[in-house]
Structures are given as structure tokens and as C-alpha cells.
């Protein structure tokens, strides 16, 4: 059987392959999905990819699967590990951080000011896939970024470095890396914080994904995946963001919630309301991603249980301490029984509410000589029209819609969360990340397929 396109999602634990046909027509189709364990521990993620394709063959009852295009997203082996180094934490560092997260990176280190010896030691320990240097508005402070560039260029590592700071430094930064014989590893882009109160993250995000694709040796066997893939490869969270941005342009402002086994990711694409923007303390990117590493419903299940409270769970399900301990000790990554699903739903609800509150901004009361003044700080989600659920939990659990409705209901008036009028959408085919990477080459087809999965029109 032959397909126009296969998209592989190579995750930390599972590899999923989605098959699409008629992508050059007005009516593209999602045909089938295969999955298998990711084979990082076996030394070659190629094994997991082939096993996922074999799983698809079994579902379709065919002997051979052929394709014109193979695209991929990856979060295997820790995904895209980045470190970010800027000048002032609430300004250039924040902008650089937003650029990295929005591109789908896992941030392992963020520093402001000049790098210290302890910072250098930590960079060696992290072994990042990409390093991002920022600092200084255009024609502003220069020395910090230049100092950090000198330090990083002379590290005994061969890692791609992106410079996204003061444009006055660009030629000198290039000279620094030439003298260190590392000019092939340097990428210079527009300043992420060109002037005060202005964030410019999209150029850096694009280059981060391009660099990721060019240097995709993040897991054993990934170089073989690169040989197989004849299209784009981008980080999986970055692919979800690409799909969210595509959808926003078509139907309006959106928040995408992805509750996973290890983390909970929130992607929002909205300019916010004019009313809130007028009282906002500092700028926020239109497209923002936050990742909560303590809110995974399998790897970090016990942490969420502690946040809810053992007694509260026992009272909710009317179980004894012995029964509670047995549930925790035998917890499975995929719930099967009715009780298991209800238990996981309670965990997903907690992860959804907490991560949404962390992602959204809020109101602050400041007191001065003129009395009290209310200002806003952080991301404004009040203009969001749609809340979208993707990922295993929010596409498969029975009460997924009710869980997402609780985001607006949880607002006590102090948070910039979506209103109760926001509509709930579900990625029913669980293909949003695949469509994010597909949109890089087949934008129109990706949008049609996404709206089909969301049951729009």
C-alpha cells in the first residue's frame, strides 16, 4: 500500500507513525496510525520506527507500505536540550527563553549577566544540543553578550550557537567564533528584544528549528532517521505550536493543552485583549509555550497526588488507605478499567488547572501616592475563543471535555484565563503534532486535516 506521506512522532517512550493520502487535493485524508516502543535503549530509534510501521501493516492487513514523503517530529533522548544566556532576566533573557520554548526546546539552563565558572561547569554537564546567546537592545549594552560569546566559543564542545542579541555585536560575534575555528557552528539572527517593551521571537524560533533539523543527532540512530526522512524534522512540542498557530490564523485565538506522562505543555496563540494590553507591565509573545516538568500523570503521578492530597482522593473515591496504596503501587501508564480512568481523570484535571494558572498572567495591585492602581502581568488569555485538548489523556479519557471546561470555571477573578464562553475542541485523531510538521510543506492540507480531527465544519 502506498501513501502520499508518513509522519513519525519519535517520543521518549513511544514512536507513532501517521499515514496520509490525497494531500495534494482539496480533501486530504488521515488513513491509519501505527505505534511501537521507542528503541533508544537498543541503540537505534530506527528499530522503533520500523516496528511502528509494521504495526500499521498489521492494522491495514498489508505486506508492504510505501510512501512519497517521510516527515518526523522528535522528543527522544530528552528532546531538544537548550541553554539560554542573556542580560536582564525580565527583558532579554525572558525573550530568549520564549523563543526557545516556542520552538519546542527543553530548557535546561537560563542565566542572566556574565557567565560564571559554575555556569560553565553546568553547561558541560548538560551537554546541550543548542546554545542561545542574547543580550542588549539594539544599540544598547554590548559587553555582556560579547563576554559570554568569548566564553562559549572557547568551550571544549562542538554545539550550534545562536546569537540573537544587540545587532551592533553581530560582526564581532562572528569574528569571535572565526578565531575559535567554530564559525560553522554560529547562527546569527534578529534580536529577540530589539527595543524596550518589544519581543521579537519568531525569527529565532525558526532558526532554532532549522538548526535542530540540521544537527539532528539527539538520540542513538537519529542520523539514520535523518537519512530516511526526505522532509522536515522538528521537535514535537514545536510541531504542536506550529499547528496551534496555523489554527489561530483560521478560526481565532486558541489555547492548546497537552497533558502527558512526563510533562504538561500549554501553548497559547493570542494577542490578548486591548483592555489588558493597556495595563500590561511587560510584553508577552503572541505565541507562548510553557512546560510543567512536575505535572506528568505517569512519571510524576505521585507529585500530582501530593498536590491533591491523599485524604481528598480517598474521600473522593471512598477507598481505604490500603486500597489507595495498592492503586499507587500498581499504577499503569494507560488506564483500562472504569476506576483507573476516573482516577487518571482526577490527575489530569489537577495538571490541567495548575498548568493553566501557571501559564496565564494575572492582575496586580500597586500602591503609590495616588492610591491603588491595578495592572496586569503575564500572558493574557481572556480573548481566547477555543481551548483545544491533545495528547493521550485529553484525546482518549471519557470526561476530557468536562476537564477542559474547568479551566475557565477555576478563575476566581485574579487570573487572565479564558472566559466560560470559550469552546472546547478535541484532537480526536491524535494527530496534531504530525500536522504541525506537515504544515511546513503542506499548509493547506494540514489545516483541512486538523479541522477534520477537531470536527470543525
Who contacts 178 (Cβ-Cβ below 8 Å, separation ≥6)?
Answer: none
Q: Does 3.90.380 match the CATH number of domain 235-453?
A: no
Half-sphere exposure of 15 (CA within 13 A, CB side): 28
pLDDT at res. 212: 86
Mean pLDDT, the chain, rounded, equals 93
The torsion angles phi and psi of 256, rounded to 5 degrees, stand at: -110, 130
Q: How far apart (Å, rounded) are the C-alpha atoms in residues 243 and 427? A: 11
Cβ pair 351, 304 in contact under 8 A: yes
Same fold, 80-214 and 235-453: no
Low-confidence ranges of the chain (pLDDT < 50): none
pLDDT at res. 216: 66
- Tens-place pLDDT, residues 437-446: 999 999 999 9
pLDDT at res. 217: 56
pLDDT at res. 154: 96
Instruction: Compute CA distances 418 → 237, 292, 347, 383, whole Å.
Output: 22, 19, 21, 7
The CATH number given to 80-214 is 3.40.50.720
The domain segmentation of the chain, as residue ranges, is 2-77+218-231, 80-214, 235-453
**CATH T-level fold of 2-77+218-231:** Nucleotidyltransferase; domain 5 (3.30.420)
Angle at which helix 236-251 crosses helix 443-453, to 10 degrees, equals 80
DSSP letter for each residue of 201-250 = -HHHHHHHHHHHHHT--SSTTHHHHHHH--S-EEEHHHHHHHHHHHHHHH
pLDDT at res. 12: 72
pLDDT at res. 41: 66
Closest CA to 229 of 449, 20, 10: 10
SS3 for 70-118 is EEEEECHHHCEEEEEEECCHHHHHHHHHHHHHHCCEEEEEEEECCCCHH
pLDDT at res. 77: 65
The torsion angles phi and psi of 132, rounded to 5 degrees, stand at: -115, 125
Cβ pair 232, 130 in contact under 8 A: no
Who contacts 61 (Cβ-Cβ below 8 Å, separation ≥6)?
Answer: none
Q: How far apart (Å, rounded) are the C-alpha atoms in residues 457 and 448? A: 10
Q: How far apart (Å, rounded) are the C-alpha atoms in residues 419 and 415? A: 11
pLDDT at res. 409: 96
Can you give the length of the chain in residues? 457
Amino acid at each position: 500500500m502506498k501513501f502520499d506521506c508518513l509522519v513519525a512522532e519519535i517520543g521518549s517512550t513511544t514512536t507513532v507513525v501517521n499515514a496520509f493520502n490525497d494531500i495534494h487535493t482539496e480533501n486530504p485524508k488521515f488513513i491509519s496510525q501505527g505505534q511501537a516502543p521507542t528503541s533508544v535503549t537498543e541503540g537505534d530509534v530506527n528499530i522503533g520506527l520500523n516496528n511502528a510501521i509494521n504495526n500499521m501493516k498489521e492494522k491495514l492487513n498489508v505486506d508492504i507500505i510505501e510512501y512519497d514523503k517521510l516527515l518526523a517530529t522528535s522528543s527522544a533522548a530528552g528532546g531538544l536540550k537548550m541553554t539560554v544566556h542573556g542580560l536582564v532576566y525580565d527583558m532579554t533573557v525572558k525573550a530568549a527563553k520564549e523563543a526557545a520554548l516556542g520552538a519546542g526546546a527543553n530548557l535546561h539552563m537560563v542565566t542572566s549577566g556574565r557567565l560564571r565558572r559554575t555556569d560553565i561547569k553546568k553547561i558541560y554537564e548538560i551537554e546541550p544540543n543548542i546554545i542561545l546567546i542574547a543580550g542588549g537592545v539594539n544599540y544598547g549594552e554590548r559587553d555582556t553578550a560579547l563576554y559570554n560569546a568569548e566564553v562559549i566559543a572557547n568551550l571544549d564542545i562542538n554545539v550550534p550557537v545562536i546569537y540573537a542579541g544587540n545587532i551592533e555585536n553581530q560582526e564581532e560575534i562572528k569574528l569571535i567564533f572565526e578565531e575559535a575555528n567554530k564559525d560553522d557552528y554560529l547562527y546569527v539572527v534578529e534580536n529577540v528584544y530589539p527595543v524596550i517593551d518589544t519581543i521579537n521571537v519568531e525569527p529565532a524560533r525558526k532558526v532554532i528549528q532549522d538548526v535542530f533539523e540540521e544537527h539532528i543527532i539527539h538520540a542513538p540512530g537519529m542520523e539514520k532517521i535523518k537519512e530516511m526522512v526526505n522532509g522536515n524534522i522538528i521537535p514535537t512540542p514545536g510541531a504542536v505550536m506550529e499547528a496551534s498557530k496555523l489554527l489561530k490564523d483560521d478560526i481565532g485565538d486558541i489555547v492548546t493543552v497537552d497533558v502527558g506522562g512526563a510533562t504538561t505543555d500549554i501553548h497559547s496563540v493570542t494577542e490578548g485583549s486591548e483592555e489588558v494590553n493597556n495595563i500590561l507591565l511587560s510584553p508577552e509573545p503572541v505565541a507562548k509555550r510553557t512546560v510543567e516538568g512536575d505535572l506528568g500523570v505517569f512519571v510524576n503521578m505521585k507529585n500530582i497526588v501530593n498536590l491533591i492530597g491523599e485524604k481528598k482522593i480517598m474521600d473522593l473515591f471512598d477507598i481505604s488507605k490500603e486500597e489507595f496504596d495498592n492503586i499507587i503501587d500498581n499504577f499503569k501508564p494507560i488506564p483500562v478499567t472504569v476506576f483507573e480512568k476516573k482516577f487518571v481523570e482526577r490527575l489530569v484535571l489537577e495538571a490541567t488547572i495548575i498548568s493553566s494558572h501557571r501559564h496565564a498572567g494575572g492582575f496586580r495591585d500597586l500602591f503609590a501616592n495616588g492610591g491603588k492602581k491595578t495592572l496586569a502581568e503575564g500572558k493574557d488569555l481572556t480573548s481566547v475563543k477555543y481551548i483545544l485538548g491533545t495528547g493521550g489523556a485529553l484525546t482518549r479519557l471519557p470526561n476530557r471535555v468536562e476537564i477542559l471546561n474547568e479551566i475557565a470555571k477555576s478563575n476566581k477573578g485574579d487570573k487572565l484565563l479564558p472566559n466560560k464562553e470559550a469552546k472546547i475542541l478535541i484532537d480526536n485523531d491524535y494527530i496534531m503534532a504530525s500536522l504541525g510538521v506537515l504544515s511546513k510543506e503542506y499548509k493547506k492540507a494540514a489545516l483541512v486535516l486538523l479541522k477534520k480531527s477537531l470536527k470543525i465544519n
